[in-house]
């Protein structure tokens, strides 16, 4: 039970929010709990839900990589809610639990087969809230060897937003509905 009770699903009348909830249900991230809590702040619920889904499932970076990054961040945030959810889209693209664990805990190990670009992106997520001072000019220079500036902004904004929402859900003591 979260510290703040979610609204009943039937109490959410906003068609835009309900549409986003259906989109999220198909994706698997987030489940209904997150929007039902957010719906208590209706002015924020739609833009935050849209940003969460869009930054995760759209854009110009491989969704499987972003799914690994999202779970890495949720585990670091100690957020049981988002850490337990899985993207059906990433699974359909072939992402396995083993690959997720390798990406979270052993991505620097050459034997795991992550590309230099993937390692750099995973390091970006790893360091952002562990030691942001390491994300300096030389780090961004290395990122630019593999990613366009647009992709770096996509990744950075994705990391920042998802981690923030994960810390929010952690603070509420949230766990997945299923």
Partner 1 sequence: MSVNPDAVDAAFFDELRRHYSDDEIVELGAFIGFNLGYHTFFGTLKFYPLFLPDGRLVSQAESEKFYGAAPVSLGKAEAAE
Start-to-end CA distance of the chain, whole Å, equals 13
- CB 63, min distance to partner 1, A: 20
CB of 95 to partner 1, least distance (A): 23
Quote the CA–CA distance of 1 and 112 in Å, as a whole number: 38
Return the number of the residue (120 or 128) whose C-beta is nearest partner 1: 128
Interface residues toward partner 1, by CB under 8 A: 3-5, 37-38, 40-41, 44, 48, 78, 128-129, 132, 135-137, 140, 156-157, 159-168, 170-173
Please, which residue, 79 or 95, has the CB nearer to partner 1?
79
Of 5 and 22, which CB lies nearer to partner 1 in the complex structure?
5
Residue 27 exposed, middle or buried by CB count within 10 Å (0-12, 13-18, 19+): buried
């Amino acid at each position: 039970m979260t510290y703040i009770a979610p609204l009943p699903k039937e109490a959410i009348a906003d068609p835009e929010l309900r549409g986003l909830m259906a989109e999220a249900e198909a994706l698997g991230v987030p489940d209904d709990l997150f929007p039902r809590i957010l719906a208590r702040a209706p002015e924020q619920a739609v833009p935050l839900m849209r940003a969460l889904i869009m930054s995760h499932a759209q854009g110009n970076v491989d969704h499987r990589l972003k799914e690994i990054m999202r779970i890495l961040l949720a585990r670091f945030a100690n957020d049981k809610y988002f850490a337990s959810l899985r993207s059906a889209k990433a699974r359909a693209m072939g992402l396995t639990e083993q690959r997720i664990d390798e990406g979270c805990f052993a991505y620097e190990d050459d034997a795991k087969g992550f590309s230099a670009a993937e390692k750099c992106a995973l390091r970006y997520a790893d360091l952002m809230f562990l030691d942001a001072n390491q994300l300096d000019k030389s780090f961004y220079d290395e990122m630019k060897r593999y990613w366009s500036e647009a992709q770096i902004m996509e990744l950075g904004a994705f990391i920042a937003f998802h981690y923030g929402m994960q810390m929010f859900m952690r603070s509420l003591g949230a766990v997945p509905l299923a």
